[in-house]
Amino acid sequence: MARARQFDREAALDLAMNEFWQKGYSAVSVKSLCEQLGITRSSFYHSFGSLDALFEEAMGLYLRYNPMLELENPKLTAVQAIRRCFKVLCKLRAKDKQHRGCLIINNLNEGYAMPVKTAKSLQAKIDNSINALEATVERGKVEGLISPAQNSRALALCLQSLATGINTLSMQVHSEEELWGIADTTLSGLGF
């Protein structure tokens, strides 16, 4: 059998995720990551392939804690699920002492620095979110809690816009009450 890895790959991925989150893709270099990890670039390229491959892995890890997953919660009605989803989001952002906002949204404007494939995969995450919201609105119509006269796509865009706004504002507005105030007021106004 071959020589074993001398460093903790999970811990390295975790650190990388945090770097991309805080500083953004184009401010993260292979060199600086390796220095923080105490490994050589040689080890890095062997384990991760490239910086953008690592970035994709980091996005994957990040999305394991995605508040939008609440939308699939089978115990909740569509409207409850949407409200819960925003509640969880506000709690999560307020709890973050580093006020990092959202990794995905923070990196949307770094497209030029990435391989095209990576930039597209990033944008696809937003599309997925919009689609999940739209599906939940549709579910709300079936459940009779949302008027079928409403345009589901348009409502989903309102919700995605709200999520984006809260994520970004959370970098400067740190109080959970204020963040939830935004969500609650806007959701109520939209009929949720």
Partner DNA sequence: ATCTTATTGTACATATGTGTACAATAAGAT
Partner DNA sequence: ATCTTATTGTACACATATGTACAATAAGAT
Contacting DNA (CB under 7 A), which of 13, 24, 37, 43? 43
Is 160 near a second copy (CB under 8 A)? Answer: yes
Shortest approach of DNA to residue 56 CB, angstroms? 15
Is 154 near a second copy (CB under 8 A)? Answer: yes
What is the 3-class SS of the chain, one letter each residue? CCCCCCCCHHHHHHHHHHHHHHHCHHHCCHHHHHHHHCCCHHHHHHHHCCHHHHHHHHHHHHHHHCHHHHHHCCCCCHHHHHHHHHHHHHHHHHHCCCCCCCHHHHCHHHHHHCCHHHHHHHHHHHHHHHHHHHHHHHHHHHCCCCCCCCCHHHHHHHHHHHHHHHHHHCCCCCCHHHHHHHHHHHHHHHCC
- Segment contacting a second copy (CB under 8 A): 16-24, 32-40, 54-62, 69-77? 16-24
Q: Which is nearer to DNA, 58 or 166 (CB)?
A: 58
Q: Which is nearer to DNA, 41 or 120 (CB)?
A: 41
Shortest approach of DNA to residue 29 CB, angstroms? 4
Q: Which is nearer to DNA, 45 or 62 (CB)?
A: 45
Residue 50 binds which of DNA, a second copy, none (CB < 5-8 A, kind-dependent): DNA
Contacting DNA (CB under 7 A), which of 17, 20, 21, 51? 51
Q: Which is nearer to a second copy, 24 or 47 (CB)?
A: 24
What number of residues does the chain have? 192
Is 30 near DNA (CB under 7 A)? Answer: yes
- CA dist 59 and 42 (Å) reads 23
Contact positions toward DNA, by CB under 7 A?
Answer: 1-7, 29-32, 39-43, 45-47, 50-51
